[in-house]
Amino acid sequence: MQILLILNDPPYGTERCYNGLRLALALIKSKPETMITVFLMADAVAAAKAGQKTPDGYYNVERMLKGVVVGKGQVLLCGTCMEARGLADTEMVLGAQRSSMAELAAATLAADKVLVF
């Protein structure tokens, strides 16, 4: 099964990004053979910025994204959204890849389920 999660909200301030990543990690853990793709767009692209420092006891979306990559999931970043926010590829977490709307369209068509946060 292929599952696509599309995240739109900023990494902090709301919990939508956090909850989408929690679900992605739970799916990877419960069914490792499931293909998980996380597509970050709009303000969610900031979730993939490397070097995040959060207070002790607070969730860290960078670590969560690394967990998706380690679990063989795919993390794609909207290139246009990155450019609009002044984010370069070199600033992003290892394993996250610049992507496009064409690739999002292809991932949507290939997915058995699409979840939007």
Cα 18 to Cα 58: distance, rounded to the nearest angstrom? 11
Q: Quick one: which of 3, 6, 5, 61 has its CA closest to 32?
A: 3
CB atoms under 10 Å from CB of 51, counted, come to 7
Q: Residue ranges of the domains in the chain?
A: 2-116
Regarding beta strands 113-116 and 74-78, do their DSSP bridges make them parallel or antiparallel, or are they unpaired?
Answer: unpaired
Question: In this predicted model, what pLDDT tens digit does every residue of 54-74 receive, in sequence order?
Answer: 999 999 999 999 999 999 999
Mean pLDDT of the chain: 97
pLDDT tens for the chain, residues 1 to 117: 999 999 999 999 999 999 999 999 999 999 989 999 999 999 999 999 999 999 999 999 999 999 999 999 999 999 999 999 999 999 999 999 999 999 999 999 999 999 999
The model carries a pTM of 0.95
Q: Which CATH architecture has domain 2-116?
A: 3-Layer(aba) Sandwich (3.40)
